[in-house]
Structure 1
Amino acid sequence: MTRIQTLLALFALLSPALGAHAAPYLPASGTQVIETLPRRGDPVQQELRRLRAQLNAQPNDVALATTLARRYIALGRSETDPRYLGYAQAALAPWWKQAAPPPPVRLLRATLLQSTHQFPAALADLQGVLAVEPQNAQAWLTLATVQTVQGDYANATSSCARLSSLANELITVTCVAQVGGITGRALQSEQLLALTLERSGTTTPELQVWVLTLLAEMAQRRDAVTLAETRFQRALALDPHDSYLLGAYCDFLLDQKRPSRVEALLADQTRIDALLLRRALALQQQGKTAPLAADVAELAARFDAAMLRGDTVHQREQARFELLRRDTARALTLARKNWAVQKEPADMRIYLEAALQARDREAAQPVIDWIAKHKTEDAAAAKLVRQLGESA
């Protein structure tokens, strides 16, 4: 998952029944906690039940359906629980298959579609919304998001520019900076975004976390380690449970060879596949073979389940997993497939790492050419490109 996208996978629970390719998961003992369900007394859950009951009575009420869907999407992000995205789609069921549903529904459908990398369908919905509502700031931001992920930087920049009169300065600059940060204007984009954040005054914690995480990653890509650490810590102070932030910070820590910190951070976060993967990488760095074997077995079962469902959203993470267990050919295949869909710095890096481990510089040429064409500045990627040249 990526901060540029702020994406969420649109799937129900990982099925415990993994068919012929993996055995059902069995808890070690009757005391092991498998899932913590939301408490019925939780005010958020009570409000959701109230809205669901209203929608059941009035299933064609667009305002009510979109309100409930937004609540589910927000909760899915905060809890990193993809079930809520399924609930959001269910709330929109009366309009889901319509070619041109009402703009609020269509925008939510685009949000959910891009979560599962159905980018052409999401783009069509976003363009449809903007044809009717050209002043819709959320639609322009989501469009810029999808265009950036796909590497359509010129159109992403144009979409960001449309936000200047529709959204606050921090959102607009963040949109532009995330494009500039990977297209030859890294330092200038980072400096402008940092300045805009500092002078933005009071803003929502969610927006601050998004911006600080992006700034931390920008500093990390140019090897400004101390600055990156400071920004990650500022973001964590605002939201220590943000799953993307935790993953990004753990990647930074793994690069800095601080695996014990990763293990401590993720002790109670292993229900999230991407975070379980990072804990496994931390265990590998520390040579903890027994717990590593358990995490590898669990990850293998989860990725097998995803493949049985036809889920291709997590190919980047799965490529990293295959490198962890030294299946370089499989890792390179997955990295190549992932690159065909999305082109963020992390996608570049896993492709280069897989090609290096496979000793196949020719396979990495599309990414090497992409980096040169767009003048992408990334110290880790540059090092991998040098190593690939040396290996050749």
Structure 2
Amino acid sequence: MNIIKLIVVAWLVFQSPSAWTAAYTPKDDAEVLERLPVATGERKRLRELRIQLNENPGDYRLALDLARDYIALGRSNSDPRYYGYAETLLNAWLRTNNLQPDALVLRATILQNRHDFQAALADLKVALKLNPRLPQAWLTLAAVFEVQGDYPSALRSCLALAKFSAALPAAICINSALSLSGQARPSYTQLASAVADVKGDPEELTWAYVILAEIAERLDLGKEAESWYQKAVALGRRSVYLLTTYSDFLLDHNRPAEVLDLLQGETRADALLLRLTLAEQRLQRKQFNEHADLIKDRIAAAKSRGDTVHQGDESRFVLHVLKDNQTALKLAISNWAVQKEPRDARILLEAAVTAKQPDAALPVIKFMEQTHLEDARLMPLLKLAKG
């Protein structure tokens, strides 16, 4: 797996909406948890790597390669159990007397997937002290800072990434951070120009197209946003994050039937199940009640484990499906304390307005003023909250 693909996989992992299911760490690498629809080529590669690693258990590079493949599968299938496999493989190289920077970066990816951002940052800082020339570490650092709404720190990490990475990944990282800090229009233009001049691989272009679509949405360029989404889908690379953001776009434009077509059979990933359920609700489909009950069960299971870190989508479900305004607002406030992406700002604004508690939206209002975040989708909600 070359460095560009490592960077792309890292971004996709960081952008993927986490499942409500916690990662399970298997006791044995041979343990069969479930037969998943893994492509034949991927299955063959995993089998070969496992055989090689069993024959050479101390081979660090083999363990890293297999851990990266597990993380990529966890992301593409939205199955946290693969993260558990990866973490088990990495343990030998995460002991105090044997810390390896690449292993620390991969563990930071796993920690971020659990929304344990502070622990992820700690691992990344140690990794970069051991080796400051790690593109994946800088990209991962930028992603964590961006999720937390610390755009200046994200930009600094992207600029460091540019010293050790190819032009397009660095351009995507830099313009993503700038687009969230009051420079959406120039960032959009610069990134679109960078993409036009490059013939990247499908994963790299998926990353670029999704970022462009999101910036276009925030700039209220609906037709351009849809064009970028369609280009990303046409590349044929499975991405839960792409399907999630495109579904949200279609729901915003009152096109729930297209969401059903896009997400046909997509019930494994909780983020996609939620969008599917919201579309079924609008169309009054008979599957709506079944899927809504399934989401309730998954939320209840997460709470029984003490898992409270996936509250953005839970708030949206409670607000729009269960119609419980007060609970939705509490969830949105709790979620905002952990992460501050535009979607997190939106659900807090929606919940505050619906619950008729506009003061609860003050943290978002102040945040947008301080960061100069531009998002056309939030403006009507901001007016209602301020009013």
TM-score by length of structure 1 reads: 0.88
Q: Separation in 1 of the partners of 2:384 and 2:65? A: 51
Structure 1 gaps of 5+ residues are: 14-34
Q: Does 1:247 align with 2:258?
A: no
Q: Distance in 2 between matches of 1:247 and 1:240?
A: 14
Q: CA deviation at 1:240?
A: 5.8
User: Are the aligned partners of 1:100 and 1:106 in contact in 2 as well (CA < 8 Å)?
Assistant: no
Give the equivalent residue in structure 2 for 1:66: 64
- Matches of residues 259-274 of structure 1 in structure 2 within 5 Å? 259-274=256-271
Question: Hey, what does 1:378 align to over in structure 2?
Answer: 375
Q: Measure the CA separation in 1 of the matches of 2:358 and 2:129.
A: 44
Q: Which residue of 1 aligns with 2:8?
A: none
2:362 is equivalent to residue 353 of structure 1: no
Q: Does 1:328 align with 2:325?
A: yes
How many Å apart are 1:46 and its aligned residue? 3.0
- Partner AA of 2:22 in structure 1: F
Superimposed CA distance per residue, residues 175-234 of structure 1 (whole angstroms, 9 cap, x where no aligned partner): 11111111111111111111111112x212111011101111111112111111111100
Does the Cα contact within 8 Å between 1:89 and 1:96 map onto a contact in 2? no
Q: C-alpha displacement at 1:99, in angstroms?
A: 7.5
Is the CA contact 2:108–2:119 (under 8 Å) kept in the aligned structure 1? yes
Structure 2 Cα separation of the partners of residues 372 and 4 of structure 1:
29
Query: Any conservation in 1 of the 2:22–2:302 contact (CA below 8 Å)?
Result: no
Does 2:59 correspond to 1:54?
no
User: Could you tell me how far apart the structure 1 residues matched to 2:217 and 2:152 are?
Assistant: 24
Is 1:337 the counterpart of 2:334? The answer is yes
Residues 302-332 of structure 1 show CA distances to partners (whole Å, capped at 9, x for unaligned) of 1111112222332111111111211111111
One-letter amino acid of the structure 2 residue matched with residue 331 of structure 1: A
The answer (yes or no) to whether the contact 1:4–1:145 under 8 Å persists in 2 is no
User: Are 2:102 and 1:104 aligned?
Assistant: yes
What is the CA RMSD across the aligned residues, in angstroms? Answer: 2.1
1:305 and 2:312 correspond: no
Structure 1 partner of 2:314: 318
What is the aligned partner in structure 1 of residue 385 from structure 2? 388
| 3-state secondary structure, aligned to 2:257 | helix
Number of residue pairs aligned between Structure 1 and Structure 2: 365
- Aligned amino acid, residue 100 of structure 2: P
Of the candidates 191, 194, 208, which is equivalent to residue 192 of structure 2? 194
Query: How far 1:107 moved relative to its partner?
Result: 1.3
Residue identity (%): 44
> Corresponding residue for 1:215?
212
SS in 2 for 1:148: helix
Q: SS at the partner of 1:234?
A: helix
1:315-358 residue CA offsets vs partner (Å, 9 max, x unmatched): 11111111121111111111111111111111110111111111
- The amino acid of 1:6's aligned partner reads Q
Say if 2:336 and 2:348, in contact at 8 Å, map to a contact too: yes
The whole-number CA distance in structure 2 between the counterparts of 1:70 and 1:91 is: 10
Give 2:218's aligned amino acid: R
Q: In the aligned structure 1, how far is the partner of 2:170 from the partner of 2:264?
A: 36
* TM superposition score normalised by structure 2: 0.89
SS of 2:15's partner is: coil
* Structure-2 residue corresponding to 1:23: none
Partner of 2:14: 5
Question: Relative contact order: is structure 1 or structure 2 higher (C-alpha 8 Å, sep ≥ 6)?
Answer: 2
Secondary structure of the corresponding residue to residue 378 of structure 2: helix
8 Å CA contact retained: 2:202, 2:237: no
2:326 is paired with a residue whose SS is: helix
Specify the alignment match of 1:37 in structure 2.
36
Partner of 2:254: 257
By how many angstroms is 1:158 displaced? 1.0
Letter in structure 2 aligned against 1:80: S
Q: CA deviation at 1:130?
A: 1.0
CA contact (8 A) 2:13 2:109 kept: no
Residue 90 to residue 237, structure 1, CA distance change in 2 (3 Å): same
Identify if the C-alpha distance between structure 1 residues 128 and 333 changes in structure 2 by more than 3 Å, giving closer, same or farther.
same
**CA 1:297/1:108 → structure 2, altered by over 3 Å: closer, same or farther?**
same
Name the amino acid aligned to 1:341. Answer: V
Distance 2:259 2:161 in 1: 37
User: 1:139 & 1:373 partners in 2: Cα distance?
Assistant: 27
From the superposition, tell whether residues 57 and 4 of structure 1 become closer, same or farther in structure 2 (CA, over 3 Å): closer
Give, as a single letter, the amino acid of the residue that structure 2 aligns with 1:37.
L
Q: 1:291 to 1:38 in 2, by over 3 A?
A: closer
Query: Which whole-Å CA distance do the structure 1 matches of 2:340 and 2:384 have between them?
Result: 21
**Structure 1 residue matching 2:123: 3-state secondary structure:** helix
Change (3 A) 1:124 1:37: closer
Indicate whether 1:275 and 2:252 are aligned. Answer: no
Structure 1 residues 100 and 385: CA distance shift in structure 2, 3 A: farther
In the alignment, structure 2 segments of 5+ residues that lack a partner are 1-10, 25-33
